[in-house]
Structure 1
Amino acid sequence: MSRVLVTGGASGLGAALVAQFVAQGHQVLRTDIGTTFAGDDGPYLRLDVRDPADWDAAVAWCDEHWGGLDILVNNAGIATGGRIDVETLDEWDRVVDINLMGVVRGCRAFTPVFKRQRSGYIVNTASVAGLIHPPMMSSYNTVKAGVVALSETLSHELHPYGVTVSVISPSFFQTNLADSFQGADKAMEPGVRKLVEKSPRTADDIATVVLAGLAKKRFLIIPDRPARVAYLTKRWARPLYDRQMRKVAAKVHQRAEQAHQTHG
């Protein structure tokens, strides 16, 4: 039985991971930005991944109640995106602070614990956007690629201490992630919401594959077929991949031109 901390655990993939860890008999500390949580499947701690003091409190909680931690799941994140000349620098700062630096802070907070134990498992939620890079998503692609790079770096850096690292890279699945979209590029949100809401995959589907991958200690966990196809297309059929990405860009350009002409 492992001691597990999950960030962003109140909804979406985080909640699904919590439920499946609990079902397997693990002790789980669910964390999120709310002050309280009404669930009944274990303890809850408020943790804003942007706040180093909250991370210190999480380490202290794990030390006090469990004597350490076995699995850290850096899952909290937000949706963002937009054309490079439309998305604001404040939006860039926000998504970097949450989706990338939130993961960095978590890894920094618990690495001393894992080194002391000479064991541990870091699980970072990225996205297929960390592996392939569609147009109009530069900020999201950038931070998720950073999470993949950080994860690979730590998989080597912390190996001498008995620490395993995995990174999760799903494509769109049914979740409330689109609700966090606050971008200035209003043309992006409907498309993101449609991709999320029309996906046949649920957070539970993704969590099931993720836990199977963790059991095998796979570094890169791509838990759904569309993500795997996109990743393999980029690796082995780059001209096809480039054509697909540029078709997407051309469609957005066309819609933007039509909107400009309509509104004058």
Structure 2
Amino acid sequence: MSRVLVTGGASGLGLALVQQFVAEGHEVLSTDVAAEASAPAGAQYRRLDVRSAEDWAAAVTWCEQNWGGLDLLLNNAGIATGGRIDVESLDEWDRVVDINLMGVVRGCRAFTPVFKRQRSGHIVNTASAAGLVHPPMMSSYNTVKAGVVALSETLSHELHPYDVTVSVVCPSFFRTNLADSIQGEDTAMWTAARQLIEKSPRTAEEIAAAVIIGIGMKQFLIIPDRPALLAWRTKRFARPLYDRQMRRIAERARVRAEGQVPSAGDE
């Protein structure tokens, strides 16, 4: 039985992970930004804003006082964002960097001393297929998720002498409430992203099940669905095809954007 902490555990993939870990008999602390949230039966809940170093320090104290340590940290909390580079605001860049990238950094920094003392532990960081392949109109999201992949690889080497395992999760779109977190000025991007999320045939529960298998196998790179795996392999082994696909996406976006601008004769 493992001691497990999940961030972003109140909904989406985080909730699905909490439910499945509880079903397997593990001790689970579900955390999220809400002051109060209901955790599944068998799990405990604690407020944790991943932007707050103080909240992270309090979570470490809780785990040490109640469990004597931690076995598995899942840095899962995140938001959806994106937009064309000349449309998305710098404020939105700051927001997604602070949550999706620095939130993971804070979690790793907070619990690494615990894992080093224990000479054991497993860090699992949720990135995205966007951390491996980089579609146009998603600069901010691609950048932070690629950063999570880079951080995870770095720590997989850095913490290996302490017998600490690190994994990074890179799913493609699946059905969740992630689209509700989208903000910013590029409304055309919001619409496209929401459709991809809401129309996906994959559920959070299916992704969570694949993630838990990958954790059990101590895989570094966990790609839990076929579309994400195919996209990653196409980029690695058929780069010209990958580039053509990405540029077709960009061209369609250009046509849509220019179609929304009235011509001189219509003004």
TM-score (norm 2): 0.98
Distance 1:120 1:38 in 2: 27
- Which SS does the other structure have where 1:143 is aligned? helix
User: Once the 2 structures are TM-superposed, how far is the Cα of residue 41 of structure 1 from its aligned partner?
Assistant: 3.0
Residue 60 of structure 2 corresponds to which residue in structure 1? 59
Q: Distance in 1 between matches of 2:38 and 2:69?
A: 25
Separation in 2, partners of 1:148, 1:261: 42
| Unmatched 5+ stretches in structure 1 | none
2:204 maps to which residue? 203
1:221 pairs with 2:222: yes
| CA drift at 1:259 | 0.4
The one-letter amino acid of 1:230's match is A
Q: Give the letter aligned to residue 218 of structure 1.
A: Q
Deviations 1:100-143 (A, max 9, x none): 00000000000000000000000000000000000000000000
Equivalent residue, structure 2, for 1:247: 248
Distance 1:142 1:42 in 2: 33
1:72 — aligned with what? 73
Deviation at 1:162, TM superposition (A): 0.7
Displacement after TM superposition at 1:15 (Å): 0.2
Q: Give the Cα separation in 1 of the matches to 2:79 and 2:198.
A: 16
Amino acid at match of 2:110: A
Instruction: In structure 2, list runs of 5 or more residues that go unmatched.
Output: none
Deviations 1:157-183 (A, max 9, x none): 000001000000000000000000002
Contact 2:87 2:186 in 1 (8 A): yes
Is 1:184 matched with 2:185?
yes
Matches of 1:10 and 1:156 in 2, distance apart?
31
Structure 1 residue 38: deviation in Å? 2.1
Amino acid at match of 1:111: T
Equivalent residue runs for 1:226-237 within 5 Å: 226-237=227-238
Letter in 2 for 1:36: E
In 2, Cα distance between equivalents of 1:228 and 1:244: 16
Q: How far apart, in 2, do the equivalents of 1:147 and 1:74 lie?
A: 10
Aligned residue-pair number: 264
TM-score scaled by length of structure 1: 0.99
Residue aligning to 1:126: 127
Correspondence 1:1-264 to 2 at 5 A: 1-39=1-39, 40-261=41-262
The alignment partner of 2:43 has SS state of coil
User: In angstroms, what is the RMSD of aligned CA positions?
Assistant: 0.9
